[in-house]
Amino acid sequence: MLLAIDSGNTNTLFAIHDGKDWIVEWRIATNATRTADEYAVWFYQLLSMQSLSFADITDCVISTVVPQSLFNMRNLARRHLNIDPIIIGDEGVDVGIGVDITNPKEVGADRLVTSLGAHKSYEGPLIIIDSGTATTFDIVSADGVFEGGIIAPGINLSVKALHEAAAKLPRIAIKKTEQIVGKDTVTAMQSGIFWGYIGLIDGLVKRIIAEDGRKFTVIGTGGVASLFEGASETIDVYNGNLTINGLLEIWRLNKKEK
């Protein structure tokens, strides 16, 4: 079985693929100081709940945008699973997608992995909107080349900043409001956050299309993307598995025959 680890700025995803399907996924808060042994205790317990063990894991692929976490996740694989993992970004690892920007090394591993997952799933040029700690808009050509994108603050980051910067504004849950104009502080904030992000998404997609001229398939993914379903005018499809599917493809490209 394959263990895929995707470590983002906020959460880290552990997913297991049995050769046919993703059979289970778990999320843990990203903590750069968490040791390999701490990961192992947590992971062992969750595997046990699925009647699985460390011995069932035969391969591992890791993507992270938090370099401080990589040492301990690599040690988790090596010391506890007896696996030398494939690390996205390591020299010699084929990420399966071209990169056409000024400095290819600046692109986060997560964006390349997600772009590959999208390219393998959908035809034509793509706009991938990934809603996480940041909201990214990534352009992938029809022949599988990452062409650049846009990075904006994530919706949860904006909620946090609004609460922390204004003494009288409470922390709110993200919620779609029925009316744009709120009649109280909470609904006014919810409207501003939710519909403000819909405006951000739709506005930027329309500008990309106007500037570029190609007909894109627009895909929503990431932790909060499902909130926008039915509200955005420009997102064609929602798929929460693009990143782990991209990790699966990279593992297939780079695995060593046993």
Catalytic residues: 110
- Measured from the Cβ of residue 246, the count of other Cβ atoms closer than 10 Å reads 31
Distances in Å between the Cα of 56 and the Cα atoms of 15, 47, 53, 187 are 13, 9, 5, 49
For helices 242-254 and 109-121, angle between their N-to-C axes, nearest 10 degrees: 90
Query: From the centroid of its chain, how far is CA 160?
Result: 20
Residue 223 makes CB contacts below 8 A (sequence gap 6+) with 10, 11, 131, 132
Query: CA-to-CA distance for 198 and 253, rounded, in angstroms?
Result: 36
Which DSSP string do the residues of 201-220 spell out, in sequence order?
HHHHHHHHHHHH-S--EEEE
Sign of CA dihedral 227, 130, 135, 197: negative
User: Would you call 74 exposed, middle or buried from its count of C-beta atoms within 10 A (0-12, 13-18, 19+)?
Assistant: buried
Map tokens 């929602």 to a residue.
Answer: 238
Query: CA-to-CA distance for 114 and 96, rounded, in angstroms?
Result: 11
Query: CA-to-CA distance for 229 and 220, rounded, in angstroms?
Result: 9
